Amino acid sequence: MKKKVIVSACLLGECCRYDGKTKKTDVVEEALKEYEIIPFCPEAPLFGTPRERINVVEINGKKRIVTDETNKDVTQLLEDETNTFMKLHPKVDRIILKSKSPSCGYGTTPVLNEKKETVKLGNGIAAELMSKYYKNIKIEDELNFMKHNPNESDRL
């Protein structure tokens, strides 16, 4: 049986980003030939594509996910979507998520204050939940792959 890997769908060529574009990263797919790939995107099913951008915003010491223009708090929706996905896939061998995303970024996502200034880098909401649910699996991102394939980095 093949090992299983969760991959952010935009890295696989799905046009599911907020701007309707993809972040297809050939080197990631190439590296995962031997795996059963499980695409993951919590935002597109909830909000459609294209959609308003969202941000991680620290409010009263707590990280919330808030829409960029309409200031709507969508944290709970994204948590529910991610929890449902994880319950469907309780056992995986590897996780590769898109860097810098308010959902998928792991340690690379801008965290804003209420004035929309970046105050630090942190985790996207889905990456945060996955790091707790899949405790023994180190979350990777496409930047790990870029280090070994510098020609690809121009496209990210």
Nearer to ligand SF4, 115 or 132 (CB): 132
Chain positions 40 to 99 lying near ligand SF4, rule: CB under 6 A, are 41-44, 98
103 sits near ligand SF4 (criterion: CB under 6 A): yes
Pairing status of strand 3-8 against strand 35-40 = parallel
Binding mask 8-47 for ligand SF4 (x = CB under 6 A): xxx-----xx-----------------------xxxx---
Region from 59-67, 86-94, 101-109, 147-155 binding ligand SF4, contact rule CB under 6 A: 101-109
Residue 102 to residue 126: CA distance in whole angstroms: 8
Secondary structure of residue 52 in the 3-state scheme: coil
Give DSSP secondary structure letters for 56-125.
EEEETTEEEEEETTT--B-HHHHHHHHHHHHHH----SEEEE-TT-TTT-SS-EEEE-TTS-EEEEE--H
Nearest to 18 by CA among 67, 52, 55, 66: 52
Of 8 and 35, nearer to ligand SF4 (C-beta) is 8
Site size with ligand SF4, rule: CB under 6 A = 13
Beta strands 94-97 and 109-112, pairing class: unpaired
Rounded to a whole number of angstroms, the CA Rg of the chain reads 15
**39 pairs with which residues across the strands?**
7
Nearer to ligand SF4, 42 or 122 (CB): 42
Residue 101 within binding range of ligand SF4, rule CB under 6 A: yes
122 binds ligand SF4 (CB under 6 A): no
* Minimum distance, C-beta of residue 99 to ligand SF4, in the bound complex (Å): 8
* Shortest separation between residue 23's beta carbon and ligand SF4, angstroms: 7
Q: Which residues bind ligand SF4 (CB under 6 A)?
A: 8-10, 16-17, 41-44, 98, 101, 103-104
